[in-house]
Amino acid sequence: MTSQKEVKTSAAPLQTDLGCCRVESIVSVDERGQMVLPKEIREKAGIGPGDKLAVVSIQQGGQVCCVCLVKTKGLNDMVRGLLGPLMGQASPGKSE
């Protein structure tokens, strides 16, 4: 099992046209399927003990190609913002 001291992090731009995406760190998954989010990433993202994260996967060609973590506190507004216009509802922050 990897100890927290062995986890190495780096922050380098992801080489794509997606200016918002960055490789923030590299983490390892242990034999139980667990990983550690580095402290600097938790601090930047405002993730603390007891916070819940949704695991969102993106598939391409029937295979999962990307896994994202989203704080559940903001998930409701995010989904409403994405799907609301499709369903004729107001976006978050706009009055109905």
Quote the pTM value.
Answer: 0.57
**The amino acid at 58:** I
CA distances from 41 to 11, 46, 64, 70 (A): 10, 8, 23, 13
> Does 46 score more than 80 pLDDT?
yes
Strands 63-71 and 9-13: unpaired
pLDDT above 70 covers what percent of the chain? 72
Q: What is the mean pLDDT of the chain?
A: 78
Annotated domain spans of the chain: 4-87
In a 13 Å sphere around the CA of 23, the CA atoms on its Cβ side amount to 10
